[in-house]
C-alpha cells in the first residue's frame, strides 16, 4: 500500500490533489491529509509515507519550517514534492536546495505530473 501525505491549508486544493492522485495511481494507496504542518509533523513518523506533497504558504508553520523540522529529526524520507501557488523563482531555487525535495510543482496539480511521479 502506497502512503501519501498531503499538507495544505487550502481544502479545495487538497480535494483536487486527492482526487487526481486516486484516479491516476495504479496501486492501492492511502492518503493522509493535514491542513496544519504542525499536525503532520507530529504524526508523520507513525505514517511512514512514500510520498509527501507540501504547500509552502500556511499559517502557524509554513512549508519551509516544516522541511527544516522534518529533515532535522528524520533519517528516512519520502519523496517530497513542493506543491505551491507561488511561481517566485526564489521559492523554486530555495526548494531545490533541499536535497529531499524531488520537484517543485505549481498548483493546481495536473495529471501529467501524477503520471510522472507514480510511474
Confidence (pLDDT) at 118: 86
In a domain, 44, yes or no: yes
Question: Would you give per-residue pLDDT tens digits along the chain (119 residues)?
Answer: 999 999 999 999 999 999 999 999 989 999 999 999 999 999 999 999 999 999 999 999 999 999 999 999 877 899 999 999 888 899 999 999 999 999 999 988 888 888 889 87
Nearest-angstrom CA–CA distance, 87 and 108 = 12
Give domain status of residue 77, yes or no: yes
Domain that holds residue 45: 39-50+61-88+98-109
55 domain-assigned:
no
Query: Does some domain include residue 67?
Result: yes
Whether 2 is covered by a domain: the verdict is no
- Give the DSSP letter string of 31-50: EEEESSHHHHHHHHHHH--S
Q: Do the domain assignments include residue 7? A: no
Sheet order of strands, 29-34 included: 29-34, 2-7, 51-54, 79-84, 101-106
Within-domain flag for 103 = yes
Instruction: Measure the CA–CA gap between 57 and 23, rounded to whole angstroms.
Output: 26
pLDDT digits (tens, 9 = 90+) for 80-113: 999 998 888 999 999 999 999 999 999 888 888 8
pTM of the model: 0.94
| Grid coordinates of 16 | 483536487
Number of independent structural domains in the chain: 1
71 falls within a domain: yes
Amino acid at each position: 500500500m502506497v502512503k501519501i501525505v498531503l499538507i495544505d491549508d487550502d481544502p479545495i486544493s487538497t480535494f483536487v490533489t486527492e482526487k487526481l492522485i486516486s484516479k491516476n495511481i495504479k496501486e492501492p494507496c492511502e492518503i493522509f491529509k493535514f491542513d496544519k504542518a504542525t499536525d503532520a509533523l507530529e504524526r508523520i513518523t507513525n505514517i511512514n509515507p512514500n510520498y509527501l506533497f507540501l504547500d509552502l504558504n500556511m499559517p502557524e508553520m509554513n512549508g519551509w519550517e516544516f522541511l527544516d523540522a522534518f529533515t532535522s529529526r528524520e533519517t528516512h524520507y519520502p519523496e517530497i514534492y513542493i506543491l505551491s501557488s507561488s511561481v517566485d523563482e526564489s521559492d523554486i531555487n530555495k526548494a531545490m536546495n533541499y536535497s529531499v525535495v524531488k520537484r517543485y510543482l505549481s498548483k493546481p496539480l495536473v495529471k501529467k505530473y501524477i503520471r510522472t511521479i507514480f510511474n
